[in-house]
Structure 1
Amino acid sequence: MATFARSLCGVALVCAALSALAADRGAFLVQDGRPAGVIVLPTQPNAVERYAAQELSEHIAKATGVTIPVQNENALGGAAAATRIYLGATQAAQTAGLDGKKLPRETFTLRSSETALFIVGRDEAGDPLDRDTSAGTLFGVYEWLERELGVRWLWPGDLGTVVPRTREVALRAIDATVQPKLFQRHVRTGTGFTSGNPALGFTKKAAEDYAAAQAVFLRRHRMGRSEKFSYGHAFTDWWEKYGREHPEWFQLVNGKRGPEKPGARFAMCVSNPGLHAQIVKLWRDKGGAEKTNGRSFINAVENDIVGQCECDRCRAWDGPTPPDAMKYYAPNFKVYGSRFVSDRYARFALAIQQLAAKENPNVTVVGYVYFNYFQAPTSGVKLNEHILLGFCPSAGWYPRTDDEHEWYKRQWADWRKTGAQLFFRPNYFLDAYSMPFVFARQFADDFQNGARHGMVATDFDSLTGQWSIQGTSLYLLMRLHVTPDANPDALLADYFGGFGPAAAQVKAYFDYWEDYTMKHRRMITEVFYDRVAIRWRTWAKAPHRIFPPETFGPAEALLAQAAAAAATDRAARERVAFLQTGLAHAKLCAETASLLTLADPAATVERGKDKLTELLKFRRQHEREWFANLGHNAWVEDLSWKLANETKQPADYYP
């Protein structure tokens, strides 16, 4: 009897679960492989809404093989009885109480009814792919595709677009309003690198098409910004403009104001009240003091040089030098041995903010923490949220030792304790050239440390686009901008899942390279600390030293296993082949570098000619797979290798 009762209870639980599932699943968009719904646009849709409909329709078609019709609201006719997805500022959305104009920029609402789904966002006129165009409805489409269809974008182009197949798509109950957690999410595109040896890079049309594919990819990961502001080294032309009349605004070094020699870089005398007043005057002259609903920004980013003014006032603003100030800098690095000046730069930003706030309380001063003012202040200076500082480590490249990693994380936390707002502005993704240099999880920990301690925006310099060889690091860079608190291993599981039956083997492949990178930190450091090569600029002098020939064999074997596992799955097989292309390219680059590196006085054009020709033929064969940004590769190689005049020809003609 007890067994029978338990059986009845089990049946009841199953029935309840099925009823809940049925209630959660609304009307069908696609059923039994046939269209059962329509995408509805406003009567006069804007560019963002039209593009959102295109993206939604194309992804549903990839999932189901079915094309959902797109109709303007005034032309629905008989289609009105079908299941509907209303996009943007439709009349139906207004009737349902949804008005995108009342939402913050880049924000959207997803709301379902019995037979409809509304995706309504704050949209503006402009190019839907432009980071300054608020595209809330488009972002809402991407959110729905991820949540409901399991879509993932692994790298630019169709092959990197993972859309699970299904025969039906139903509207599930949802009511969510989503705003990006960072007001700016920016990874510099890396498409502007140019080389004096263009034959090393993309052919002209391929470069244009790669840039277009990458722009789509970046928008799918919600790159953009809800507040427009500009910043960068602010005073580069000031000596020419003001040096004769106001030398006191400029650094005092060895008793002399201004550049130490003609044309040299220079820092400012950041404690000088006249300098503060001039910065505020220029802001005022551009309308910065006018009251608006938004923030008004002042660019006060120091020039690209260590802070070195020796005047008494600047030195009086300095705090005590921490005992570990130079611990993680190489003795031949330009910061090493310089005066610790973080407190003067904190006070500099505060002085400008307080002066400008008398005219506009919504002013925000933008500065950097950089070079010898990177480590957190020690004097107890208190800032406020009207000071926005770009966290720009001038060292600290991955992989870091555990203690070094914690030191860098602590600098972020301690700057945040001053009360300033912070945005992440590193150069770390300029690293690694075309090599399998994988630091995915350490980067994720760094990023999430910032997110836990008040990060409000990002600006990464730059996206070098080595998609097939550094895929996991780049995927986390993208996904953490969308979901900064997500479990990195769960995000990577999505990436590996795109390889279907080869997921486990692909994970083993990337784990091999990440393990290699993390375990060889000392060797990597020694290669770059002796200045044989520079991390962001001349990596191609030394890839063969960091990845000698014997490191490639195990990786090739792992990908061969992945290819075997993916043999019956076309998409997975092609994605594994994509990784194999990147690995073959990395191996060729290392071999070519060993023959042409400028770090070897014996290098000659003739010695590397055959291997370089092989490399360039490989690039022409595979360039349209978007396995790498060949423009960036060419830029690094131009600065790293002994090259013949032939490589100065366009890639379309040579080899």
Structure 2
Amino acid sequence: MIATDGQPAAVIVLADQPTAVARYAAEELVYHVEKATGAKLAIVSEAGPRPAGLAPIYLGDTRAARSAGLEVKKLAPEIFVYRTVENALFIAGNDAVGDPLEPATFAGTLLGVYELLERELGVRWLWPGELGTFVPKRRTLAISAHNETIVPHFFQRNVRGGLTFTGKTAALGFSPAAAADYAQAQTVFIRRHRMGRSERLFYRHAFTDWWEKYGQDHPEWFQLYKGKRGPPKPGDHYSMCVSNPEFHREIVAQWQRRRESDPQNAPRYLNIAENGIVGFCECEPCRAWDGPTPPDYLDFYAPKSKMALTGKRFVTDRYARFWLAVQRLAEEIDPQVVIVAYNYFNYFYYPSPEIKLNDRILIGAYPSSGWYPRSPEENAWFRKQWAGWQATGAQLFSRGNYCLDGYTMPHGYAHQFTDEFKDQVKRGMVATDYDALTGQWAAQGPNIYLLMRLHTRPDATADELLAEYYAAFGAAAPQVKAYFDYWERYAVAQIPLMQELFADNTTRWRTPAKVSHHIYPEAAFVAAEKFLAEAAAAVAGDSEARARVQFIQNGLTHAKLCVRAASLLSLSELAADPARSAEALRELIAFRRAHEREWIANFNHSAWTEEASWRLPAEQLSTTP
């Protein structure tokens, strides 16, 4: 028993010198139990006094846990034990030292507390902040018996926060204080959904600074493009000459030096993810590594995309051979080395059948297209790519940019995303790394909720998880569901228009505010507003549910204001009436300032998109909020 008739029936017990993870886990448990029952649990140390007659909840590596046979120090990172022994509850993981909110900090005990909160209290985290924390009320709370050792479904679960997308026009984004508070609230939300990793894995585009470091002495390591090695002009992006054996040896030599400098944490992973650009190299050795171009290679890239405008060459086979060549060299140092790479642009299509990889090559599936929603044919094509890579024997993780799409619009694709996620799980997905949250919590809440929740419930259907989300709206759940269903159907109907408007579908995430008013004209909002009016009426007497409906309504108002501004300021349109443009912009800025602490959206990301999409008069935007 944890609470009885609103009074504490349990006490939280920590080690005498608990980790920061265990301490934070205790605080999270206290907060949510009090929110559910009104009972505030005490936190005590094992050596100190404790209230009599209360059931102990032991968190972390305590003496009591060891006496009960829990060998906490032998647990692998992020694995936790969830066990009841007589009247005591034990939740313990082999936690690391570090910030509990940092996903790289191993925090099994914290993950275990979140497991308890979801299972026993029915807690659901819908969006950052107090209003987005749904905790069903009860005066009495009992815990059922358990004896489980729980392992996360994926060794890395990552959804990037998107906090680095900030514009230069201060008035359009958050005020500095609100930005800091938003970042903290979102960080807490992400951790509550158990994002983290059990491997010390680091990777990125690996060679972005190599030209500055080595270009003068070793131009042969870099792409040969139009007769020139390296970037076409200073500051341009570039790819590498991936067939060059000296380049391979330098990669491995640098990795070996990193291992020697810190032998206690010698990295098993060797990152060779190519720079974020098409594989351009035209030298004969690279071309000799290429295979035949598949007939449907460019079927789902726009005619003006980077893919179609850069020679259309299929270079997957050369990259697969590159990964294998580096792996063979690195195996001489560590036979268990794991190569980390991306498939990308013109090496996203799976390799030729004769190319065989292995399970010590970890590939981030990184499509440069495939935005949601998709046509059935497009959906089938992207699944075919994943299956083709799986057939090589490599390990795969999702490195999609899908979450960057949609701007501030009610752009719905929850069901399609869930179907693909589940198909990837079925086909061996071992980790995730989604880039990135745009923070459109009120406009795109179901998309984001399923993105987060599938990491802990990959077996659940979209409708099962969406039912959790809608339940937080109380009696308005049917109307809120109808609202988001409307927008999901609407988005599917706009597929042909989106394909027409985004001539380069590889970069549509950067400037969607140019054309949002064409895809989501104000007339489309009329039916949606009726659903939300009905939702508000259904919960007129329920202040918490009514506030959540208002949250969604504010997201819709924000989207409408953005559409109006886009129709007047878009860089893709003729110059509009300056007075009307100024008024639309003033209205949008005033709304954001009035609602910036509700977290309906990450206004900084919205501003970043708008800067690349609109004509912004400097005199209106120079004021610091």
TM-score range, shorter chain: over 0.9
Alignment of 1:363-442 (within 5 A): 363-442=337-416
Alignment of 1:148-163 (within 5 A): 148-163=120-135
Deviation of residue 604 (structure 1)? 5.5
Q: Secondary structure at the match of 2:47?
A: helix
Distance 1:648 1:591, change over 3 A: closer
Deviation of residue 247 (structure 1)? 2.5
Q: Secondary structure at the match of 1:545?
A: helix
Indicate the residue corresponding to 2:287 in structure 1: 315
Distance 1:292 1:63, change over 3 A: same
Query: CA separation in 2, counterparts of 1:78 and 1:628?
Result: 44
Indicate the residue corresponding to 1:6 in structure 2: none
Deviation of residue 556 (structure 1)? 0.3
Indicate the residue corresponding to 1:509 in structure 2: 483
Indicate the residue corresponding to 1:124 in structure 2: 96
Q: Which amino acid aligns with 1:460?
A: Y
Distance 1:551 1:106, change over 3 A: same
Indicate the residue corresponding to 2:15 in structure 1: 42
Moved more, 564-573 or 472-481: 564-573
Distance 1:604 1:459, change over 3 A: farther
Alignment of 1:31-70 (within 5 A): 31-70=4-43
Moved more, 35-44 or 141-150: 35-44
- 1:335-362 C-alpha deviation (Å, 9 max, x unpaired): 1242001011011011101110011112
Query: CA separation in 1, counterparts of 2:421 and 2:267?
Result: 25
- 1:313-335 C-alpha deviation (Å, 9 max, x unpaired): 21221122111001111111111
Distance 1:72 1:289, change over 3 A: closer
Q: Which amino acid aligns with 2:361?
A: I
Q: TM-score, normalised by structure 1?
A: 0.92
Contact 1:288 1:297 in 2 (8 A): no
Q: Which amino acid aligns with 2:576?
A: A
Query: CA separation in 1, counterparts of 2:263 and 2:44?
Result: 42
Contact 2:61 2:94 in 1 (8 A): no
* Aligned pair partner of 1:542 in 507, 515, 519: 515
Indicate the residue corresponding to 2:250 in structure 1: 278
* Aligned pair partner of 1:339 in 313, 320, 344: 313
Q: Which amino acid aligns with 1:210?
A: Y
Alignment of 1:83-102 (within 5 A): 83-102=55-74
Indicate the residue corresponding to 1:18 in structure 2: none
> Is 1:521 aligned to 2:495, yes or no?
yes
Indicate the residue corresponding to 2:563 in structure 1: 590
Distance 1:290 1:194, change over 3 A: closer
Query: CA separation in 2, counterparts of 1:129 and 1:456?
Result: 22
Distance 1:559 1:303, change over 3 A: same
Q: Which amino acid aligns with 2:271?
A: N
Deviation of residue 83 (structure 1)? 1.2
Contact 1:320 1:379 in 2 (8 A): no
- 1:299-322 C-alpha deviation (Å, 9 max, x unpaired): 211122211222222122112211
Contact 2:223 2:281 in 1 (8 A): yes
* Aligned pair partner of 2:471 in 497, 501, 505: 497
Contact 1:119 1:141 in 2 (8 A): yes
Indicate the residue corresponding to 2:440 in structure 1: 466
Query: CA separation in 2, counterparts of 1:340 and 1:126?
Result: 44
Query: CA separation in 2, counterparts of 1:288 and 1:162?
Result: 49
Q: Secondary structure at the match of 2:270?
A: strand
Contact 2:565 2:585 in 1 (8 A): yes
Q: Which amino acid aligns with 1:395?
A: S
Indicate the residue corresponding to 1:234 in structure 2: 206
- 1:594-638 C-alpha deviation (Å, 9 max, x unpaired): 111111121354331111111111111111111100000111111
* Aligned pair partner of 1:169 in 128, 132, 141: 141
Distance 1:77 1:616, change over 3 A: closer
Query: CA separation in 2, counterparts of 1:239 and 1:410?
Result: 36
Q: Which amino acid aligns with 1:330?
A: A
Query: CA separation in 2, counterparts of 1:322 and 1:288?
Result: 43
Deviation of residue 191 (structure 1)? 1.3
* Aligned pair partner of 1:611 in 584, 587, 590: 584
Indicate the residue corresponding to 1:258 in structure 2: 230
Structure 1 stretches of 5 or more lacking a match? 1-27
Distance 1:199 1:555, change over 3 A: same
Structure 2 stretches of 5 or more lacking a match? none
Contact 2:94 2:109 in 1 (8 A): yes
Indicate the residue corresponding to 2:195 in structure 1: 223
- 1:204-263 C-alpha deviation (Å, 9 max, x unpaired): 111100101111100000111111222222222222322333222222233332233333
> Is 1:649 aligned to 2:618, yes or no?
no
Q: Secondary structure at the match of 2:142?
A: strand
Query: CA separation in 1, counterparts of 2:382 and 2:62?
Result: 49
Count of equivalent residues = 623
Distance 1:290 1:90, change over 3 A: closer
Q: Which amino acid aligns with 1:529?
A: A
Indicate the residue corresponding to 2:456 in structure 1: 482
Query: CA separation in 2, counterparts of 1:112 and 1:382?
Result: 47
> Is 1:450 aligned to 2:424, yes or no?
yes
> Is 1:571 aligned to 2:547, yes or no?
no
Q: Secondary structure at the match of 1:74?
A: coil
Indicate the residue corresponding to 1:179 in structure 2: 151
Distance 1:256 1:32, change over 3 A: closer
Contact 1:86 1:92 in 2 (8 A): yes
Q: TM-score, normalised by structure 2?
A: 0.97
- 1:252-307 C-alpha deviation (Å, 9 max, x unpaired): 23333223333332221111111111111111111169877986121211122211
Report sequence identity in percent: 56
